[in-house]
Structure 1
Amino acid sequence: MDAKVKRARFEPPAPIPRTIPPSRLEIIRTVLRNPLELWGLPSYTWPWIVTRFFGQTTIIANDPGLIRHVLVDNAANYEMSEIRQLVLRPILRDGLLTAEGPIWKRSRKAMAPVFTPRHARSFSRQMREQSELFAIRYVSDDSGVVRDIAVDMTDLTFAILSETLFSGGIVSEQGDFAHDVEDLLHSMGRIDPLDLLRAPKWLPRLTRIRGASVLKKFRAIVRQTMDQRRHVMERDRDSAPDDFLTLMLELERPDGLTATEIEDNILTFIGAGHETTARALAWTLYCVAHSPDVRAAMEEEIDAVLSEGADPVDWLDRMPNVRAAFEEGMRLYPPAPSINRDAVADDRYVAADGTVVEIAKGTTVLVMPWTLHRHELYWESPRVFDPSRFLPENREEIGRFQYLPFGAGPRVCIGATFALQEAVIALAVLMRSYRFDVTPDTNPWPVQKLTTQPAGGLPMRVTARRL
């Protein structure tokens, strides 16, 4: 792609790196409001930064070698960060995202067969069917309808998750689900001032009190879902779907998972498993709306593949432009913008140039996909939307530990293949029939909660394509 076209690329909204370090009070205010606004220019230009937050030594790791050292090569020396657990464990307890030690190992091993690439591909038909059923709501006149795409994508990915992993058996009124997720993440999926001060866990976090009722509702949904499936399995095991829910309930035994652990893992997938994909889809549609040439390439590709009647199981491989747009959306707006670890024992990392990074016991290491994906050392024009980076002919230029939308190491996202396939199928179905354009009210601002969310939503005009 020539330089003229690259200069014309869309630069979506994001905080400008700070040039003046924030005060202690400003750090607290920013972390509570939006942690993405905290990071200064060194976070986007240096390979690593050693600093101190409230008496705690913290290393912000952007160097791919250092990231590999922490997440893979010496992963056993790094446990989940205390602050991260203070935020997530009240919601997910011993779900896969927050469990540690033997519980995490048991859960990961139990779920691995469901999320192998081969098994994930078997969900493609259901992903297409749910996307097509969802798209019916966009039937509109020529003037188009304005929808909050952030909410819509939450509804869509919930429908796909419900059908593929739970065979449609989640006990919930889908119309309220997106609002409930937003409310839960807004009230509970954020850092409290007491977390920053390392206050005892028994002290109530006032910022999360409002989310208690929503969390209670989510827990009730999970228990009802489990009870309904148990009744089916007790009556006639052969009539129960061979899905994720049945698999989990079959592990309820002394040498397997407890009922509480199963509940925690099901809540993790219902409440968080689809949320990351939903946010990435919404941000992708927003960026594509500002990139006419990208949209044209995607539409041409989608029309060609679908007109041939290709099985949706093959779409991920046959739609490189669609996949590239989604991956670039995840680069600019990583669904999980931070990965936090604490050093269990003293450690050291030796960089390629011989520089030594000493990592003392108790040090917090922040691997920040948000800053890593926008880092000037590793990306050309890092703030612009340029899906060509992820086309097959360019993909080898991207290092494994330079791009981490799904994390890395033993705790890499178990549903990465599932999410990629789901996103490509959903985008193909939606963009085959409709165009998504911004309106004067489309002014999103990225905010970090559990995921990277658009503050104020993403209103977009949806119009039928003229095929």
Structure 2
Amino acid sequence: MSNPSAVSAAPSRPGGQPFRAPAPVPHSQPLGFASFIRTATRNPIEIWGTRAFKEPYVRGAWLGVPNVVVNDPAGIRYCLVENARNYVMQPLRQRILRPLLRDGLLTAEGELWRRTRKAIAPVFTPRHIAGFTVQMEARSALFAEGLAGRAGETADISHEMTLLTFDILQETLFSGDIASEPEGFARSTRDFLGSMGRIDPLDLLNAPAFLPRLRRLKGRKSMTYFRALIAETIEKRRERLSRDPDGTPNDLLTLLIKADGLSSEEIEDNIITFIGAGHETTARSLAWTLYLLSQAPQERALVEAEIDEVLPTLSHPSEWADRLIHTKAAFEEAMRLYPPAPSLNRTALKPDRVGGLDIPAGSTLLVMPWLVHRHEMLWDRPDHFMPSRFLPENRDSIDRYQYLPFGVGPRVCIGASFAIQEGVIALALLLRDLRFDYVGERPPEVVQRITVQPDGGLPMRISRRH
């Protein structure tokens, strides 16, 4: 493995043991064929055995296709950065995601991907993101104020964070023009992504696309509604552009409409992609952070003290992510334990060799943040919530390719900086005056859909700090 120093890079807090974050228990014996199918369709992160969390490379095969799990940061760098052209999107991944996202940025390839990425890139320049932080602060403060009015109540914080990130997303990237109310939008997003993003047994068996996936059939109604909502949003913006071109914001929606060569369907696909990638993922990460802090009183006290002391001294919200180091570290550690994108799957176009292993053409290459982020050779107490790993004095000990919340290489998430700013700002304003305590009868069940999420939500009691 390439970074042995990282094993000791995360000292524990004195005076108590760090919190062990809930996760499926890796199995000690290989799963049989039928058991694998059942497990992968119910909860894909449960398929992994103990070897996958201990070894740098794990070889296997499925239906005669070789696969290689790459956990070694040097191997990840080689395959997804240095030789990225040799590794294209894995067919299984595309079978699951393309029905949702079609030709959006996450699933497009080749020239369409390059053209779309170029069209979207201006939205995520540092200057634009600094401007977005003002809106992030305003919407987060308003949302926190609403939750303060519910002090003493119990709420599903997973759902609440979906509402918050929708509010931020529509205000920043779509300038308030999404044609839906927050509750209706959150419900349709949950139904759409939850049902349409599930693995079907036919996907695993490489069955022809024309065979209906029963697990996704019930999502068709939500898909129809969701796409109609997005089409209405696009039409509203087109009308605004024709009526008042100078007064129309030059946000993501406008840039997509003005982009050369993007059809109406491709614009629709990319809006849905950004809702899934830039709204759902951040919502889950925020909810997991609040849950983990509720189970780690010492870590929560550090974050609260920092917010009380540092936040009043900051003049602009674009400074917060750099200055609120404990808050940011808690958010980053939550994304380590519950990565927003738990798998980065590729197929080798040509034969290759990595880590001393031959990779035949057509092999499946599996880079799984879920495994890399919890790997025993990379992290001290990998299953424990230890934000101190991400404090500035420890950050250099973490290899660039052992922490992959936003992917890596040419297809790294274009909105990574946006998400970090959003997460820190939202947490700071939620925790400035409020506290959230988990009141579930048992630890949350961790499941993989498109994101890593708590099955059944996160019931938490809201209380005022002051």
Question: TM-score category by the smaller chain?
Answer: over 0.9
Kept in 1, the 8 Å contact 2:192–2:226? The answer is no
Q: In structure 2, do the counterparts of structure 1 residues 158 and 440 end up closer, same or farther at CA, with 3 Å as the change threshold?
A: closer
* Superposition pairs of residues 49-88 of structure 1, within 5 angstroms: 49-88=58-97
Helix, strand or coil at the partner of 1:96:
coil
Q: CA deviation at 1:292?
A: 1.1
Helix, strand or coil at the partner of 2:418:
helix
* Superposition pairs of residues 262-301 of structure 1, within 5 angstroms: 262-301=267-306
Q: CA deviation at 1:438?
A: 1.2
Match of 1:195 among 195, 203, 206: 203
Kept in 2, the 8 Å contact 1:54–1:196? The answer is no
Residue equivalent to 1:104: 113
The aligned amino acid for 2:250 is D
Give the distance between the partners of 2:328 and 2:18, measured in 1 at CA: 18
Residue equivalent to 1:424: 424
The aligned amino acid for 2:53 is Y
Give the distance between the partners of 2:283 and 2:31, measured in 1 at CA: 32
Q: CA deviation at 1:183?
A: 1.5
Kept in 1, the 8 Å contact 2:53–2:372? The answer is yes
Match of 1:155 among 149, 159, 163: 163
Aligned-pair identity in percent equals 54
Kept in 2, the 8 Å contact 1:443–1:458? The answer is no
Q: CA deviation at 1:305?
A: 2.4
Moved more, 61-70 or 433-442: 433-442
Residue equivalent to 1:388: 388
Moved more, 399-408 or 197-206: 197-206
* Superposition pairs of residues 220-259 of structure 1, within 5 angstroms: 220-251=228-259, 255-259=260-264
Kept in 1, the 8 Å contact 2:12–2:18? The answer is no
Give the distance between the partners of 2:13 and 2:181, measured in 1 at CA: 49
Give the distance between the partners of 1:189 and 1:171, measured in 2 at CA: 23
Residue equivalent to 1:311: 316
Helix, strand or coil at the partner of 2:250:
coil
Q: CA deviation at 1:139?
A: 2.5
Q: CA deviation at 1:179?
A: 2.1
Moved more, 437-446 or 307-316: 437-446
Q: CA deviation at 1:116?
A: 2.0
Q: CA deviation at 1:4?
A: 7.2
Structure 1 residues without counterparts, runs of 5 or longer = none
Residue equivalent to 1:26: 35
Give the distance between the partners of 1:64 and 1:285, measured in 2 at CA: 29
Deviation per CA, 1:219-266: give whole Å up to 9, x if none: 111111111111111112011112111111111xxx431221111111
Kept in 1, the 8 Å contact 2:189–2:226? The answer is no
Moved more, 453-462 or 441-450: 441-450
Kept in 1, the 8 Å contact 2:29–2:49? The answer is yes
Residue equivalent to 2:7: none
The aligned amino acid for 1:148 is D
Match of 1:332 among 327, 331, 337: 337
| TM-score normalized with structure 2 length | 0.96
Kept in 1, the 8 Å contact 2:88–2:347? The answer is yes
RMSD over aligned Cα atoms: 1.4
Give the distance between the partners of 1:398 and 1:323, measured in 2 at CA: 16
Kept in 1, the 8 Å contact 2:440–2:459? The answer is no
Give the distance between the partners of 2:119 and 2:150, measured in 1 at CA: 48
